[in-house]
Amino acid sequence: MRAMVLRRPGPAASGPLTMQERPDPRPGPGEIVLAVAACAVCRTDLQLCEGDLPARVLPVVPGHQAVGRVVAVGPGVAGWAIGDRAGVTWLAGSCGACARCRAGRENLCEHATFTGWDRDGGFATHMTARADVAVRLPDALADADAAPLLCGGVIGYRSLRVSGITPGGRLGLYGFGASARLAIQVAVHDGCQVAVCTRAPAERQAALRLGAAWAGGYDDPPPFPLDAAITFAPAGEVVVAALRAVDRGGTVAINAIHLDRVPEFPYELLWWERSLRSVANVTRADAREFIEVAARVPVRTEWEPHPLAGANRALERLATGRVRGAAVLLPAA
């Protein structure tokens, strides 16, 4: 097999990933092996490769939005057979025994592991995954279309749930990158009135094309009070702007792994039972539910293709904001 391996983090422009030939993986107990057909590149991959997200294991193969076919099944695996089509998400596994796992909140498990961070991911021709967290994919979703859904789509879907937005509600989206472009399609399908706040005029136009009722800048107040808002931009001042726009009892869900300092704001913005919530990781239930929703809506993805050997270029394009939608590695290309 071939894999793009991170040995030492560095700027995307320096090419931190190197191609390596490795023996084909063999599945352990409870594992499957996938021949990877497509793997989308996430901003978390960029943060890992550049060192903003401290590596847990080095060397490591990044990539946690992988789609492939099962080519080997390990001992004790039920429900998967050679030839089945599967997707892999950020969640690589959880303990299954702690109170959070038993409550269906495995995303908060202290012993959870993550694809491309704790174990090798999908920037490769082959990868292993725990069979119990792999996601079955419907035929309606092609490989490269499905790959960007497996992180940006799933975390966007979880953000919608955390925000408490209900069908027909008034929703604000702050920032309009890949995840927001997927979340808005679900919200519009559910009849929500969506306001999008983002810095770039081109992104505002994209939001309107995808069904937003209004689009403006971060400092522009939406023309209607919001029942809920989701912030995708990693800036604390955007959180305050969203809080200012939500109505009484509204929730601002923060979809960000890292956030700069939240500026001081008057208590009046939080008064009337408004709330702030963070969104941390995903569960296997999130992934399976969203994939069903995405196929039904259907959620459309925008992506640009890259060969496996072009992973560094994909990271650099993501770092400089030149990727439209998602960059997707196609290992067989």
CATH of the domain at 215: 3.40.50.720
- Interatomic CA distance for residues 79 and 215, integer angstroms: 45
Asked whether residue 249 falls in the same domain as residue 293, the answer is: no
Are residues 143 and 73 both part of a single domain?
Answer: yes
Kindly state whether residues 203 and 69 are assigned to the same domain.
no
Residue type, 138: P
pLDDT of residue 325: 83
- Do 84 and 146 reside in the same domain of the chain? yes
pLDDT band at 109 (very low <50, low <70, confident <90, very high): very high
Shared-domain flag, residues 220 and 246? yes
Angle formed at CA 21 by CA 17 and CA 26, multiple of 5 degrees: 110
Gap between the Cα atoms of 251 and 96, Å rounded: 29
Judge if 97 and 44 occupy the same domain: yes
Show which of 278, 295, 319 is a domain's final residue.
Answer: 278
What is the predicted pLDDT for the residue at 250?
98
Kindly report the length of the chain.
333
Domain that holds residue 188: 154-278
> Burial of 273 by CB count in 10 Å (0-12 exposed, 13-18 middle, 19+ buried)?
exposed
CB 105 within 8 A of CB 55: no
pLDDT in tens, 227-277: 999 999 989 999 999 999 999 999 999 998 888 889 999 999 999 999 999
User: Are 107 and 204 within one domain?
Assistant: no
Mean pLDDT of the region 130-159: 96
Q: How far is CA 275 from CA 157, 199, 229, 270, in A?
A: 19, 24, 10, 7
What CATH number is given to the structural domain containing 130? 3.90.180.10
Tell me the chain's radius of gyration from C-alpha atoms.
20
Assess whether pLDDT exceeds 90 at residue 332: no
Residue that finishes a domain, picked among 239, 259, 278: 278
- pLDDT of the residue at 104: 94
Residue 26 φ/ψ region, left for φ over 0, alpha for ψ in the -120 to 50 degree band, beta for the rest: beta
Q: Are residues 11 and 124 in the same domain?
A: yes
101 shares a domain with 38: yes
Identity at 92, one-letter amino acid code: A
Say which residue the tokens 């990271």 belong to.
315
Q: Are residues 142 and 16 in the same domain?
A: yes
Mean pLDDT of 20-48: 97
Indicate the pairing of strand 226-231 with strand 113-114: unpaired
CB 230 within 8 A of CB 159: yes
- Distances from the Cα of 153 to the Cαs of 97, 149, 180, 213, in angstroms? 27, 4, 8, 21
The pair of structure tokens assigned to 134 is 């792999």
Q: What is the pLDDT of residues 297-326, one digit of tens each?
A: 999 999 999 999 999 999 999 999 899 889
**Backbone φ, ψ for residue 249 (5° rounding):** 80, 5
155 within 8 A of 179, measured Cβ to Cβ: yes
- 3 state SS of 31: strand
Q: What integer is the mean pLDDT of 118-147?
A: 97
Are both 41 and 110 inside the same structural domain?
yes
Q: Is the pLDDT of residue 113 over 80?
A: yes
Mean pLDDT across the chain: 96
What is the percent of the chain where pLDDT is above 70? Answer: 100
The C-alpha atoms of residue 330 and residue 99 are separated, in whole angstroms, by 39
Q: Tell me: pLDDT of 81 over 90.
A: yes
Q: What are phi and psi of 175, to 5 degrees?
A: 95, 145
Residue 116 sits in the same domain as residue 171 = no
Phi, psi of 69 (to 5 degrees): -110, 140
> Domain total for the chain?
2
